[in-house]
Amino acid sequence: MQTVEVIASVTRTGGNQALGPLYSCCTTSLLIRTHGSPWSRYSIFTWPGCEVKNENAMYSILFSSLCLHPKQYLPKHLHLLCVDMPGHEGTTRTSTDDYSVQGQVKRIRQFVEAIRLNRKPFHLVGTSMGGTVAGVYAACHPSDLYSLTLICPVGLKIQSESKFDSRMHDVEHSQYTLNIPLIPSTPEEMEEMLKLCSHVRFRVPQQILQGLVDVRIPHNDFYHEVFMEIMSENSKYALHEHMQQITTPLQVIWGKQDQVVDVSGAAVLAEALPHCRVDLLENCGHSVVMERPRQTAKLILDFIISQQSTESASTKKKS
């Protein structure tokens, strides 16, 4: 039996009130390791009344990847946790970690077990790369989950090519002398990335674009390493290879104008798992949780409520 050590420390509280309730949260650094392994640092966003160990929570939702925007539209009685994926905030960035999809699934499970989140089934949400990790997690650890939401996940074999796919062909043909569109190194490339990821056009001042680039550049080698691992043979189609094993009630949310991962991926999942719920959003791109935060929160909550109603009806019928 493995021994798990956990150290939690609050690194920021309160947030920036000028930015609204979305940022009124607490960021906790959680150090976790199993016996004989190095420490892994997780950056976790929680909210007042939603401690990392919340024994009294009526229902827990774990966001696998940084998707804070729907939070302000979800009821306060829910226990919400947003765990940063590699490269975000204070989460560990080391060349020794396994950044394959299976490696990330393993670390999320380590986190879940360390804080005993799976003492009762919880709802798991994953976006983009986090969607792949969430889907494979559901396939590998079904007893942990009550239900699952995948938002425009990567990792599927899709016939229709997206704008990002076309650009990646050029990058691959150049033997990666061209920059990867999702790893900008100039303000102009940052602006192009934002246009690629979002159908809604956000006006971002030049100085903000420069600031975003300045923050990212020191870590671009790391982002490149993670990207190449996700695109490797072992990870590229991980969700597709595991989707038949998903038995957890599933919801799929996708922006119809997604230029990063083509929306036809929703049909691939629906064909493989005919009982899943599919919600397609009009005038929405890949950044679903930024472009449609209110609608995303409502869809997730509606899905959870529908699963509870189905379960109650099934229990009554049996009795």
Catalytic residues: 128, 258, 286
DSSP 177: -
Strands of the sheet containing 40-46, edge to edge, are: 4-12, 26-34, 40-46, 78-83, 59-64, 122-127, 145-151, 250-255, 277-281
- Residue 240, Cβ neighbours under 10 Å: how many? 19
Least Cα distance to 82 among 48, 52, 57 occurs for 52
Angle 68-74-76 from CA coordinates, rounded to 5°:
105
Amino acid identity for residue 275 in this structure: H
Cβ-based burial of 288 (10 A; exposed 0-12, middle 13-18, buried ≥19) = buried
Chain-centroid distance, C-alpha 256: 19
